[in-house]
Amino acid sequence: MGVFKNIFTWWEGATFGTALGTMMGGERVGEDGLGNVYYQAKKAQNGFRRRWVIYKGVNDASRVPPDWHGWLHNTLDAVPDESLPPPRMWEREGNRNPTGSDQAYRPAGALERGGKRAQATGDYEAWTPGG
């Protein structure tokens, strides 16, 4: 089931086509702090060399750091480690998108927080036509 599952389940990791393309026509460019590995095609097509990432763990685009995101989208020509200045002391690491997890924001009145909202304060007046 391993090969069959890998062909069709892109959310579980690299598909068969991506893995084959990586082995046949890709060259490893670098790795980020999360363990994601970045590749680019050996040959250019239409003036660009195709670039892609093999995620370590779950495929989630929010796990690509901003500098590598710029490289993937051809904003940067050189690898971020070589072309960007070192991070400033006030810069923080990016956070993963918490939507759908326990860390997601849930306002008062959300079903996950009991579904009870505070009573209206009386400063609201309903609109009536012609009034």
Question: Where is pLDDT greater, at 14 or 61?
Answer: 61
Q: What is the pLDDT of residues 55-102, one digit of tens each?
A: 888 788 888 888 899 999 988 888 888 888 888 899 887 777 888 888
Mean pLDDT (the chain) is: 80
Question: Where is pLDDT greater, at 71 or 116?
Answer: 71
- Residue among 113, 116, 29 nearest 76 (CA): 29
Cβ contacts of 77 within 8 Å, gap of 6 or more: 83
**CA pair distance 33, 37, nearest whole angstrom:** 10
Q: How is the chain split into domains, by residue range?
A: 2-87
Q: Would you place residue 17 in the very low, low, confident or very high pLDDT band (cuts 50, 70, 90)?
A: low
Q: Which pLDDT does position 20 carry in this prediction?
A: 58
Q: What is the pLDDT of residues 38-65, one digit of tens each?
A: 999 888 888 888 898 988 887 888 888 8
Q: Which of 10-19, 32-41, 80-89, 108-117 shows the lowest mean pLDDT across its residues? A: 10-19
Q: Which pLDDT does position 19 carry in this prediction?
A: 58
